[in-house]
């Protein structure tokens, strides 16, 4: 198998909100990328207990699959101060520190107004130390092969923005769909090792344009119609502490 190269790295500090590009990620064995999905916005009472956090279906939170207008908001989290800033078209709409009650209240008040017709109850910022509000219960990285996205675009009939798939690690340099062969395989980069654990089933969130927030594609339906499945990308577990960088090669160990 040819060697993959890390093309881009992203984390998503607030579930459903903006991706944040990285040049490198410090990884810990058995953990997700630091600050990835560290926060979520509760959409009505969810039963989530920060003292005993556990995985819940994403329907309990604001999310792109149901709340496409999230893609029209540009959010950034300062990793030092934990201040979240939400903008639209460059204008600041809300700002607040998520480690302080006053800051969380400011963000919640904005979202209560912005998504008033889509909420099942008052929105609430959720967090628990070390917990990730991932779509899967296991602590993993999400890896997407850009060649697979380009191949999918042939059947969609126009370019597909890879950010629709909200991966942590985008790789290039290997054949389309060959990342599925990584399941159960050890993966070696210069500074860290991974193992592929599961293919990623795609949902309607991928139908949402990550810039315009328009629902303008039918990604899961296209995948099923062409390939007989709805998978694009894989989840990988971090096997050793280390650093993964843009430009790093990845090969089957």
Query: In the chain, which stretches have pLDDT less than 50?
Result: none
| Predicted local confidence at residue 75, as pLDDT | 98
| Predicted local confidence at residue 1, as pLDDT | 55
Helix (H, G, I), strand (E, B) or coil at 226: helix
Residues 78-96 have pLDDT tens digits of: 999 999 999 999 999 999 9
Mark 154-183 as b/e (b = at least 16 C-beta within 10 Å).
eeeeeebebbbbbbbbbbeebeeeebeebe
pTM: 0.96
| Residue 99 DSSP code | T
Contact 46, 60 (CB under 8 A): yes
CATH 2.40.33.20, the chain: domain bounds? 4-32+137-252
All residues at 6 or more sequence positions from 90 whose CB lies less than 8 Å from its CB, including other chains: none
| Predicted local confidence at residue 15, as pLDDT | 98
Q: How far apart are CA 233 and CA 179, in angstroms?
A: 7
Contact 103, 93 (CB under 8 A): no
Domain 4-32+137-252: assigned CATH number: 2.40.33.20
| Predicted local confidence at residue 253, as pLDDT | 87
Residue linked to tokens 């979202």: 111
């Amino acid at each position: 198998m040819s060697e993959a190269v890390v093309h881009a790295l992203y984390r998503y500090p607030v579930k459903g909100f903006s991706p944040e590009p990285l040049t490198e990620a410090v990884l810990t064995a058995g953990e997700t990328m630091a600050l990835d999905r560290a926060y979520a916005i509760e959409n009505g009472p969810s039963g989530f207990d920060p003292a005993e956090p556990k995985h819940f279906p994403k329907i309990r939170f604001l999310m792109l699959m149901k709340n496409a207008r999230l893609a029209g908001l540009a959010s950034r989290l300062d990793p030092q101060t934990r201040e979240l800033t939400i903008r639209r078209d460059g204008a600041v709409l809300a700002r607040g520190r998520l480690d302080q009650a006053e800051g969380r209240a400011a963000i919640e008040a904005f979202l209560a107004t912005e998504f008033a017709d889509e909420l099942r109850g008052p929105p609430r910022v959720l967090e628990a130390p070390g917990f990730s509000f991932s779509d899967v219960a296991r602590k993993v990285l999400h890896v997407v092969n850009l060649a697979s996205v380009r191949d999918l675009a042939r059947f969609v009939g126009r370019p597909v923005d890879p950010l629709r798939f909200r991966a942590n690690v985008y790789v290039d340099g290997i054949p389309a769909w060959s990342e599925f062969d990584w399941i159960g395989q050890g993966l070696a980069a210069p500074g860290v090792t991974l193992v592929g654990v599961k293919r990623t089933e795609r949902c309607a969130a991928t139908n949402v344009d990550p810039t315009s927030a328009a629902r303008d594609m039918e990604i899961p339906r296209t995948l099923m119609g062409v390939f007989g499945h709805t998978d694009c990308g894989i989840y990988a577990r971090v096997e050793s502490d280390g650093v993964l960088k843009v430009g790093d090669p990845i090969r089957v160990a």
